[in-house]
Structure 1
Amino acid sequence: MDMSLRQLRYVATVAELGSIAAAARTCRISQSSILSAVDAAEIEMGARLFERRPSRGVVATPAGQRFLASARLLLAAEAEFARSMERHSPKTPMIVRLGCFEPFGALFMPELLRRFIDQEGVEVQLFEGEQPQLLRWLEGNTVDAVLTYDIGAGLPGDATILARFPPHALLHVESELAKHAEVSLTELVRLPLVLLDLPQTSAYLLTLFDIVGERPKVGFRTRSYESVRAAVACGFGFSILNMRPLGRGSPDSDRLTRKRIVEDLPAPQLVIVDRYGPAKPPFLRRFTSVAKMFFHEIETERVTRR
């Protein structure tokens, strides 16, 4: 191949941002250098990689998608090579770069990472965001892997499943339904809903009520898991969530209670996603193993308590 890794990175950035000009700004080089990299890639591939759309940027062609899939694997391998070289330098700490669905940052990620990191001198970089943003970070090699729900499009087919989290109701302790051992959607739909209003998440939560043919009135919208809990604790209504606080750093207040929902509802799976394919680096294989054990212990404890 007559292309450099830098040129591959330029092409991948064009695909990520959908714009030659935006890629040039991000890479801090001229547009002509970006175009030169794209031209070299198209010569290498023997096909056009991007369709130019006036005033709307560019989009990868089928040939471009095949090229980019291989390019990202090569760029991921380059990032891991650089990481392995850093480990041999006594002045450079190992850096663990992970992305997660934003609510996970406070709910369990620090505790999970504490189990994984058993040595000093390791720097953790945690990137918290919504799923579309997580996938962009993954494609751009900003992170090595992400933890998210298997909701929405764009996830690789070889994602590693860690756990399944059925939805449950979050209620104020003085709510009438808080006295029940479990609640139904028919009872909840009459109350105002505090909605976690994140892309894909809000649609999933609202469609749960389609089983009873009616949707609750939304009384409070927020993009923050912490604000959902605060709003319910202040009496704005109930919420439906999938994740409970798992770590020691973010417990519920004494004004909140969580109840099982009696209906059999679709439950998203928590997955680890990366772009390494079968060539996963040792640290990522180990992190996946630690994460599986972490959630297995949580599931065992949850079943024991029933």
Structure 2
Amino acid sequence: MNLTLRQLRYIVSVAETGSIAGAARQCRIAQSSILAALDLADNEMGARLFDRRPSRGVSPTPAGERFLSSARRLLNAEAEFERTMDRHNHVTPPILRIGCFEPFGALFMPELLQRFTEGANIAVELYEGEQPQLLSWLEASIVDAIVTYDIGAGLPDDAVPLARVPAHVLMHVNDPMANQGAVHLADLVNSPFVLLDLPQTSAYLLTLFDIAGKRPRIAFKTRSYDAVRAAVACGFGFSILNMRPVGRGSPDSVMLVRRPLVDNLPVPTIMIADRYGTAKPAFLRRLSLLAKSFFEEIGPNAF
């Protein structure tokens, strides 16, 4: 077969994202490279791997499902081989590829990664995505490690906890409750809600209101953390979030205030994870230690 491992990753990405454009964004390449890999695979298999539907994306054919199953096994074997070899490599790679839960990209990742790269000639590629994407990137060795919440399943058993991040309320500075030191969920349920609408995150946030016995009316929902902040600043309503901005990159508007919640709520934990297990290379051990130190220095009052 004339397909390269890189081209196999492109094809698997098409299946994961459901579109050629989505695969191009995920793999950070031109759509023409994705199309070339698909055409080559079709010719090699003697059958179309995907049904391509204008404006509705793509879906695997039966031949495509068989191809994808074999491709994933091969890519997993390659990833395991690389992990085994990296155990004996004490050199930090010239490019650090890190995945993170999408909002973290603006909230604290540059501050954290600047500490890791300081004084070294290391470039950073930051992949921001939802948790299912992060796990697939990690499994395929597209990224070296991921930083995300412990919400949902799939994180490796040896993922390292970095910080517990309790939920808090984000509200407009002129909200009547903005002058309170802390807020009860029950006092919020009759106000319009701005929802961070990411997979797993939205379900977690809405479930918190079950403690108050009522869910608020969703007045604005978005997949963007920054859009949540903008919507609250513009008066659409309040929001419930976990992580706050850290450092210099993404401060809140003067139109926003954050207040703790009095309720006894489940507290998610920020984790750093990789697929190396006990074969973790030295640079990832150093990154994990630095990340723990980073959050210890910030302290719980910052988030």
TM superposition score normalised by structure 2: 0.78
Same amino acid, percent of matched pairs: 52
Counterpart position of 2:151: 151
Identify the range of structure 1 (129-138 vs 269-278) with the bigger mean alpha-carbon deviation: 129-138
Question: Alpha-carbon deviations, 1:89-132, whole Å to 9, x = none?
Answer: xxxxx111111111111110111111111224211111111111
Counterpart position of 2:62: 54
Q: Relative to 1, partners in 2 of residues 1:116 and 1:253: Cα closer, same or farther, differing over 3 Å?
A: same
Counterpart position of 2:80: 73
Q: Relative to 1, partners in 2 of residues 1:65 and 1:254: Cα closer, same or farther, differing over 3 Å?
A: same
Matched, 1:219 2:226: no
Give the Cα–Cα distance (whole angstroms) in 1 for the partners of residues 7 and 83 of structure 2. 14
Assess if the C-alpha contact under 8 Å between 2:96 and 2:122 holds in 1.
yes
Assess if the C-alpha contact under 8 Å between 2:88 and 2:281 holds in 1.
no
Displacement after TM superposition at 1:30 (Å): 3.8
Counterpart position of 1:110: 110
Give the Cα–Cα distance (whole angstroms) in 2 for the partners of residues 57 and 289 of structure 1. 41
Give the Cα–Cα distance (whole angstroms) in 2 for the partners of residues 14 and 275 of structure 1. 22
SS at match of 1:278: helix
Question: Alpha-carbon deviations, 1:200-230, whole Å to 9, x = none?
Answer: 1111100100112110000001111111111
Give the Cα–Cα distance (whole angstroms) in 1 for the partners of residues 98 and 14 of structure 2. 21
Counterpart position of 2:272: 272
Work out the number of aligned pairs and report it. 275
Amino acid at match of 1:213: G
**Structure 2 unaligned residues grouped into runs of 5+:** 24-32, 46-59
**Structure 1 unaligned residues grouped into runs of 5+:** 1-5, 36-51, 88-93
Q: Relative to 1, partners in 2 of residues 1:127 and 1:150: Cα closer, same or farther, differing over 3 Å?
A: same
Displacement after TM superposition at 1:254 (Å): 1.1
Matched, 1:231 2:237: no
Question: Alpha-carbon deviations, 1:243-300, whole Å to 9, x = none?
Answer: 0011211111111111111111111110111111111111111010000001112225
Assess if the C-alpha contact under 8 Å between 2:86 and 2:281 holds in 1.
no
Question: Alpha-carbon deviations, 1:124-159, whole Å to 9, x = none?
Answer: 111111111112221221110010111122222221
Counterpart position of 2:41: 31
Q: Relative to 1, partners in 2 of residues 1:227 and 1:15: Cα closer, same or farther, differing over 3 Å?
A: closer
Q: RMSD over aligned Cα, in angstroms?
A: 3.6
Counterpart position of 1:287: 287
Q: Relative to 1, partners in 2 of residues 1:289 and 1:189: Cα closer, same or farther, differing over 3 Å?
A: same
Counterpart position of 2:160: 160
Counterpart position of 2:177: 177
Question: Alpha-carbon deviations, 1:25-49, whole Å to 9, x = none?
Answer: 58938438987xxxxxxxxxxxxxx
Q: Relative to 1, partners in 2 of residues 1:17 and 1:77: Cα closer, same or farther, differing over 3 Å?
A: farther
Assess if the C-alpha contact under 8 Å between 1:110 and 1:247 holds in 2.
no
Give the Cα–Cα distance (whole angstroms) in 2 for the partners of residues 163 and 261 of structure 1. 18
Give the Cα–Cα distance (whole angstroms) in 1 for the partners of residues 267 and 36 of structure 2. 40
Q: Relative to 1, partners in 2 of residues 1:64 and 1:223: Cα closer, same or farther, differing over 3 Å?
A: closer
Counterpart position of 1:186: 186
TM superposition score normalised by structure 1: 0.77
Q: Relative to 1, partners in 2 of residues 1:34 and 1:117: Cα closer, same or farther, differing over 3 Å?
A: farther
Assess if the C-alpha contact under 8 Å between 2:75 and 2:140 holds in 1.
no
Q: Relative to 1, partners in 2 of residues 1:294 and 1:16: Cα closer, same or farther, differing over 3 Å?
A: same
Give the Cα–Cα distance (whole angstroms) in 2 for the partners of residues 27 and 292 of structure 1. 43
